[in-house]
Copies of this chain bind each other. A is one copy, B any other.
Amino acid sequence: MRQRIAIDMDEVMADTLTKRLALYLAEFGEEIPAESLHGKKIYDAVAEERRDAVSSQLRVAGFFRDIPLMVGARGVLAELMERYEVFITTAAMEYPNSFTEKYEWIKEHLPFFPDSHIVFCGDKSIIHADFLIDDTPHHFSRFAGQGILFTAPHNVNESRYQRVDSWSDVRKRFLGEPLT
């Protein structure tokens, strides 16, 4: 039986942070400096009076539909699927408005990916897989397989888990050296 990899969406397959920073700029007319996001979620990096606005971004209809694909995600995902059984596992229950948008996003950007291997969940300890590639360390605490931390600004200080910095890194970790 092939090993099984579960892969998160936001900040792993989808470049959610880039979209959130653009929305912040549009709303407040200023950028969030990159250094202030190190080790912090965007919510904790902004002034207190802007936190409600930042939280609300995720509940706006359409938010999850047009997030950019993360660089390299599509090609490496397709390659992984040749050697592993791959599931996309996203904590969509936190944002019930996101169900259809996330599904349509996958259909648009990853049309080769089978519906049968998409999972919308909350607590990811329910996922039965050998590996979980995710940017959120708390999903690893009860996960039965191995957590692989996908680097995002908010998790740079986390040192408990094996880490990949990019999809090129995912490729190296799971498929060895790039094809020549």
Contacts and interface: CB of A to CB of B under 8 A. Distances in A.
Q: How many copies does the complex hold?
A: 2
Given A93-B115, A115-B93, A118-B121, A6 B100 contact: no
Contacts of A125: 128
Contacts of A118: 93, 121-122
Contact of A116 (B4, B123, B129): B123
A119 B119 CA distance: 7
* Range class of the A interface residue count: 20 to 34
Q: Which secondary structure dominates where chain A touches chain B? A: mixed
23 contacts: A6-B126, A87-B126, A93-B115, A94-B115, A96-B100, A96-B103, A99-B99, A116-B122, A116-B123, A117-B123, A119-B119, A119-B120, A119-B121, A119-B122, A119-B126, A120-B120, A121-B121, A125-B128, A126-B127, A126-B128, A126-B129, A128-B128, A128-B144
